Structure 1
């Protein structure tokens, strides 16, 4: 790729000359949206979105990997935009009357030392050493450099405990002091979002029940989860954020081994077991909870190289609210600024090798749309009643680290954050005729989403790719974990022509996602991007103006698990 170089002069020129176009008309004459907000929404500038993206996805930013000069250029750009719009620094600084736009995110890096780590299967007193990278991979232990354990293995189905959904693999087995083994994923009978969450919470569930390790493997049909498919990723370093005491978060050091097995190796676990691998697979496919001891033990040793002192940065801008009381409550917009940096070009037939992961769609697009949304909010005749925070977060590609840090250590009182709006890869490669508002079914924010969609003239659709677990895969979920209602909007599948939007999406994920080909040479639809701005603006505006803050729906899965009355969030 030879992306066109974008100079600061070009950016400024495009922004100054951007057309004040009307991208959408009200769906009905009687709209719940005030006239002044309608006027502002119509002033969205598609050219401004493109200009922001061209800068953030330029080769000179080298893929915006946290800790690199390219990420710093991106951070400076966003910070300058906030300043130009009149936003205030969103991070208080001791001794400074003005504060800063930068929130430091302390990180720990962990890398498994493969050559001195091992996994040995023991059956009937006979030990069989497995081969790293062929039979298994290990996850690092963030709690200690050397982690060792020998323990019997018990099979626990999907490793899911969800009694509220009538399912619990742990209901009839004691795993104290044992290594649990389980399939990746969760029962297909679960609703999509609950399935995604349950599939991600296995380590937490195992640790809470006293297990000393966990081994996972995929169902034969789940090709994406196999270690063969994820070998390059499994060998990468892993990162977590640390708190003020230097303690690593979102880890479970009591699990002395975290391993993933290849398919043929996983089948060996079931030799002489109460059920065969195929019987266990069939029960899993039927959504039947199951657990039984396997006639095997494992001896595991994980050596981890740990590196502290790494710092990421979130960029936080504040638009103070206008209501004397409600200004102390906040609506938070978030989009991730980071991407993958430079990686080898894996295309053997590439005429011109390209190693820069520009991250145009992922996620220069989300940042650009939120920057234009910030401009619309700042241009209102009167600021919204509640205050608005815009946060460009770091470390999303490392595991939602920047957003999780912010949501766990917010720059304003956590209880004062009433809602979150996230934007990440909204997919505007065709006209925006329908949207999938992930999260709207869980809270009262659904009303604002419906009003905004009606004004913009888009339909609301169901998730066309529930198997992708989209609800768990971006920064809004960091806020859900803290009991904060959140919305994450992506394009639907209607294109207005003979193209299949779902197929376009899946093909893009298969060929372009997380590759250097995600650059500015793609066929973006800038009017569709502008409609995303209108949606972001109106949903946030209506939420900020409402007399009452959003609430979780009664008995909602996520509201019950993480809501304000839930302890230990």
Structure 2
């Protein structure tokens, strides 16, 4: 009996030892450097960046300028070289502001010779047109399921239907059968896909169960001005000017447009819930007029510092650390017992924390006896809260050769309100960077956990995804759910998002765990260090969804 029961244990020991042997070793100097992390430095950086005098660090304000100057000062103290434009730490990010002029815009449904004018804010909300101030279109409407075209996932709502010159209508979201990250991407790419298929407009609406995506839930946010960065020719990026109308419909309006169609709204909903591709013409046409107030002139700034590598060849390649420096600025005062009348969105956790942790990681790199083989770039980016604008601009227009950027590490709201016992390394399942992540986690003493909140689409919600779009493997680490006591980390996270996130209560009066923050520094440092030391640059896994879709720089060799 003993021999029978001991065999699996021995086998498990061998498997574990083999797995550990495949991890890249961490040199003694790097281990010593990682252990020299200073929790008090993280707190000090955060206290400055989240101070009221910075007024929420909104791009274009004096508060953001003070934050930028602080980061520049730290870069100078650490001995980083300016790697922005014209010999400075700064990279200018030209931005265009666009807001729908609601009273001058309209959307009319036409069916059987009868027209129905819809009410703005109740029946529909328009997306501004970045290409022209006045946009008009009149076209028939075709329903295209989720509006997703992903043949690589054996799903295509556009298969077998011609939508050229037509307006497409679709549910928000993507098939539940997709893996979480792929589902998040597919759900975000509807305009791009519609434009690629020749559509001239896009109407989206929510499944009845998706209450959080309805007009009623999002009207204030969706009616605000939005921004995009512009190139040297003045073209706004991540926009699709061929779509003459992009609108979100209310639930009752969405149901109405199926009147007389081949399927009812309910039948379409059931097919969507079964992950069935679908497309058919509706009996309505839409006439839309979008009036947009456009303005240029706001210029954000990324702050870029360089630590040159030590290898004669590999120093010409770069590992890029990124964290967003901006936040929301000053908004309406909140009613709170702890902060009555406070209107400053200090952004302590979002994202003074990420900047502070990356600053301390930068200090660790500069304290190594010998610089890493590859060069390291530290970038504090602007405009994340406006839609990942600063990171997208940098990843699209880097201040070093784009094809020499081998990897990205991002940090944004890592969540250190309890001991760090496990982590969720978003992106590690997509590339060979997983080995560095696993080695760093083993050294720090944290477990690797699965995404506890896949419905939050975290993989696409911060600045690392700007690098993924450029074919660059990226890692974004968040705390896991294990707390070491009877608290549930996921519940704490969701409660924080529901009550503190993007409010003036995100200040320094929160129960931050500085030891956990220090572990985040060690992880950031070691993952980047191991990546910078490796003979081989990171590669996407074979046939990886994101590697296949975006990679023009990297081999897709299996790790």
Category of TM-score, reference length = shorter chain: over 0.9
Displacement of 1:345 after TM fit? 2.8
Structure 1 residue 43 displacement after superposition: 0.5
- Residue in structure 2 matching 1:83, options 73, 76, 81: 76
Q: Deviation at 1:153? A: 0.6
Does residue 44 (structure 1) correspond to residue 37 (structure 2)? The answer is yes
The answer (yes or no) to whether the contact 1:31–1:455 under 8 Å persists in 2 is no
Residue 506 of structure 1, aligned match among 481, 490, 494: 494
- Cα distance in structure 2, aligned partners of 1:346 and 1:266: 34
Q: In the alignment, what sits opposite 1:340?
A: 328
CA contact (8 A) 1:152 1:298 kept: yes
The superposition leaves residues 168-209 of structure 1 with CA deviations (integer Å, 9 ceiling, x where unpaired) of 000021101110000111000000010011011110000011
Tell me the equivalent position of 1:73: 66
Residue 191 (structure 1) aligned with residue 191 (structure 2): no
> Are the equivalent residues in 1 in contact too, given 2:106–2:117 (CA < 8 A)?
yes
Q: Is the 8 A contact 2:333 2:342 kept in 1?
A: yes
Normalised TM-score (structure 1) = 0.92
Residue in 1 that maps onto 2:14 = none
In 2, Cα distance between equivalents of 1:378 and 1:504: 35
> Residues 74 and 258 of structure 1: is their aligned pair in 2 closer, same or farther, counting only changes over 3 Å?
same
Which segment is superposed worse, 43-52 or 30-39? Answer: 30-39
The aligned counterpart of 2:56 is 63
- The residue that corresponds to 2:392 in the other structure is 404
Q: Which residue matches 1:291?
A: 279
User: Equivalent residue for 1:372?
Assistant: 360
Name the SS for the 2:258 alignment partner.
coil
Structure 2: distance between partners of 1:505 and 1:284: 30
Report 1:86-485 matches (<5 A): 86-93=79-86, 99-347=87-335, 352-485=340-473
Q: Which runs of 4+ in 1 moved over 2 A?
A: 28-31, 345-351
Runs of 5+ in structure 1 lacking a partner?
A: 1-27, 94-98
Q: Over aligned residue pairs, what C-alpha RMSD do you find?
A: 1.5
Q: Does 1:562 align with 2:550?
A: yes
Q: Distance in 1 between matches of 2:341 and 2:72?
A: 33
Count the aligned residue pairs. 535
What TM-score comes out, normalization by structure 2 length?
A: 0.94
Per the alignment, residue 8 of structure 1 pairs with none
Q: How far apart, in 1, do the equivalents of 2:546 and 2:330 lie?
A: 37
Q: 1:528 to 1:442 in 2, by over 3 A?
A: same
1:347 is displaced (CA, Å) by 3.7
1:341-388 per-position Cα deviation (integer Å, ceiling 9, x unaligned):
111135488871111111111000000000000000000000000000
- Whether the aligned pair in 2 keeps the contact of 1:419 and 1:484 (CA below 8 Å) is yes
Preserved CA contact (<8 Å) 2:147 2:169? yes
Aligned with residue 504 of structure 2, among 516, 523, 526:
516
CA distance, structure 1, for counterparts of residue 56 and residue 497 of structure 2: 18
Q: Following the alignment from structure 1 to structure 2, what is the Cα–Cα distance between the partners of residues 367 and 160? A: 36
Contact 2:24–2:436, Cα closer than 8 Å, also in 1 = no
- In 2, Cα distance between equivalents of 1:346 and 1:361: 18
Q: Cα deviations across residues 76-108 of structure 1 (Å, max 9, x unaligned)?
A: 000100000000001241xxxxx1000000011
Q: Aligned runs of 1:10-21 on 2, under 5 Å?
A: none
Q: Which residue of 2 aligns with 1:4?
A: none
* Unmatched runs of 5 consecutive residues or more in structure 2: 1-19, 555-559
Q: Deviations over 1:277-321 (max 9, x none)?
A: 111111111111001111111110000011012100000000000
Q: How far apart, CA to CA, are the structure 1 residues paired with 2:494 and 2:100?
A: 32
Map Cα deviations across residues 475-502 of structure 1 (whole Å, 9 max, x no partner). 0000000000000000000000000111
SS at match of 2:84: coil
What secondary structure does 2:288 align onto?
strand
- Whether the 8 Å CA contact 2:383–2:390 is kept in 1: the answer is yes
